């Protein structure tokens, strides 16, 4: 009985060891390559529990996540002959585990095989661009171009480069001052051009505004004269219609207006012959006769000159 129990325990132990050696687990972020005596047999990219032949088959695991590839800073010349210090990095992922295993095997192999490709692409692309393009104007475009060039060769190693970026693009310390001064001069020149164009546009706008104001004023004055003329004509028409109904009253009203105009100051002195029609017409609406008018208090008579012609010297009282 004891021998049977021992046999069962030994069998269970052997089975457990066999299961341990035959089973392997692939995590969500992993993919696996099964090797048979060191030769690739199959790729496992599904997470979970999987089986292999113990001793005969082995498993290599590769990361599905995005991995880093850092390069050492390098010096290069831009198209405008500026010496640049460029520090860059790339992000990649393994898309073909079999080719990756056959060519580079691990991250150290990627650094030694793909790193020089990245450095070469940086020199080609940034060497054909100006310093301003590399650091500001076309930076994203240049990085995309570098990524495409690296990808065209990196696929031979079973990887895909998903991003390329520069940590810094600097000038050597001895060149920085002169380059920055030249950039400052260029920016000042551009600013002066912008200001000149702005001032020219402002003068053009002001001239156009002045022209429009002059046109509007002329049109307004023309309309005002036309409206005044129409108003005067309408007033004359209404006055004529009203006065035509009573001409005598019209004459009386006009005489009153003449009195007001002639005697407005209050100390007016008129020298008029009492026999003249002007005297009779001017004072026709006074209630007294011409003779009695001359006797009104404050009215005096006198000589009109040395010729012997006499007439009343009328001094009307102040109103």
Read off the pLDDT of residues 74-118 as tens digits, 9 standing for 90 and up.
888 888 888 888 999 999 999 999 999 999 999 999 999 999 999
Could you tell me the pLDDT band of residue 197, with boundaries at 50, 70 and 90? Answer: very high
Q: What is the pLDDT, as a whole number, of residue 198?
A: 94
Q: What is the pLDDT of residues 38-52, one digit of tens each?
A: 899 999 989 999 989
- pLDDT for 291: 47
Q: Using the structure block, give the residue that is written with the tokens 């500001």.
A: 136
> Mean pLDDT in the chain?
82
pTM recorded for the entire structure: 0.53
Would the pLDDT of 150 be above 90?
yes
CB 32 within 8 A of CB 64: no
Percent of the chain with pLDDT over 70: 81
pLDDT for position 112: 93
- Confidence (pLDDT) at 310: 38
Task: Tell me how far apart the alpha carbons of residues 138 and 145 are, in angstroms, rounded to a whole number.
Answer: 11
pLDDT tens digits, 214-269: 999 999 999 999 999 999 898 888 878 877 777 777 777 777 777 777 777 666 67
Q: 126: buried, middle or exposed (CB in 10 Å: 19+, 13-18, 0-12)? A: buried
pLDDT exceeding 90 applies to what percent of the chain?
45
Report pLDDT for 302.
42
Given a cut of 70, whether residue 305 has pLDDT beyond it is no
Q: What are phi and psi of 46, to 5 degrees?
A: -100, 135
Q: What is the pLDDT of residue 209?
A: 94
The 10 Å Cβ neighbour count of residue 284 is 11
Q: Which domains does the chain have, with CATH numbers?
A: 2-63 (no CATH), 67-171 (3.30.479.30), 248-315 (no CATH)
Q: Three-state SS across the chain? A: CHHHHHHHHHHHHHHHHHHHHHEEEECCCEEEEEEECCEEEEEECCCEEEECCCCCEEEEEEECCCEEEECCCEEEECCCCCEEEEEEEEEEEECCHHHHHHHCCCHHHHHHHHHHHHHHHHHHHHHCCCHHHHHHHCHHHHHHHHHHHHHHHHHHHCEEEEEEEEEEEECCHHHHHHHHHHHHHHHHHHHHHHHHHHHHHHHHHHHHHHHHHHHHHHHHHHHHHHHHHHHHHHHHHHHHHHHHCCHHHHHHHHHHHHHHHHCCCCCCEEECCCCCHHHHHHCCCCCCCHHHHHCCCCCCCEECCCCCCEECEEECCCC
Q: Tokens for 93? A: 């992922």
CB 257 within 8 A of CB 263: no
pLDDT, tens digit, for every residue of 283-294?
A: 666 544 444 444
Identify the pLDDT of residue 213. 94
Tell me the per-residue pLDDT of 55-86, one tens digit each, with 9 for 90 and over: 888 999 999 999 999 988 988 888 888 888 89
Count of beta carbons in the 10 Å neighbourhood of residue 262: 12
* pLDDT for res 159: 95
Q: Which residue has the higher pLDDT, 22 or 203?
A: 203
User: Are 156 and 99 contacting, i.e. CB atoms less than 8 angstroms apart?
Assistant: yes
Query: Which residues, including other chains, have CB under 8 Å from residue 298's CB and lie 6 or more apart?
Result: 315, 316, 317
> Which residue is it, tokens 């407005």?
264
Rounded to an integer, what distance in angstroms lies between the CA atom of residue 163 and that of residue 89? 9
By the 10 Å C-beta count (0-12 exposed, 13-18 middle, 19+ buried), 110 is classed as buried
């Amino acid at each position: 009985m004891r021998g049977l129990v021992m046999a069962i325990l030994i069998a269970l132990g052997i089975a457990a060891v066999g299961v341990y050696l035959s089973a392997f687990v692939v995590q969500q972020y992993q993919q696996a390559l099964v090797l048979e005596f060191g030769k690739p047999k199959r790729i496992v990219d599904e997470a979970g529990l999987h089986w292999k032949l113990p001793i005969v088959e082995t498993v290599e695991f590769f990361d599905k996540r995005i991995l880093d590839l850092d390069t050492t800073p390098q010096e290069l010349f831009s198209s405008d002959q500026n010496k640049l210090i460029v520090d860059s990095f790339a992000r990649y992922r393994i898309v073909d585990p079999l080719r990756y295993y056959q060519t580079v095997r691990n991250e150290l192999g990627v650094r030694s095989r793909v790193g020089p490709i990245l450095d070469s692409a940086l020199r080609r692309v940034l060497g054909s661009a100006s310093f301003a393009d590399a650091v500001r104007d076309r930076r994203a475009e240049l990085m995309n171009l570098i990524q495409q060039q690296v990808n065209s060769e990196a696929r031979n190693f079973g990887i895909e480069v998903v991003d390329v970026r520069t940590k810094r693009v600097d000038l050597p310390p001895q060149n920085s001052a002169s380059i920055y001064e030249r950039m400052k001069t260029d920016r000042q020149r551009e600013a002066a051009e912008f200001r000149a164009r702005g001032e020219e546009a402002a003068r053009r706008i002001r001239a156009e505004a002045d022209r429009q104001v002059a046109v509007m004023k002329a049109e307004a004055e023309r309309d005002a004269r036309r409206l005044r003329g129409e108003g005067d004509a309408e007033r004359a028409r209404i006055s004529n219609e009203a006065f035509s109904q009573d001409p005598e009253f019209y004459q009386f009203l006009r005489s009153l207006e003449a009195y007001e105009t002639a005697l407005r100051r209050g100390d007016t002195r008129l020298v008029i012959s009492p026999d003249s029609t002007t005297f009779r017409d001017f004072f026709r609406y006074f209630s007294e006769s011409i003779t009695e008018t001359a006797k009104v208090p404050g009215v005096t008579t006198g000589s009109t000159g040395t010729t012997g012609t006499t007439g009343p010297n009328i001094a009307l009282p102040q109103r």
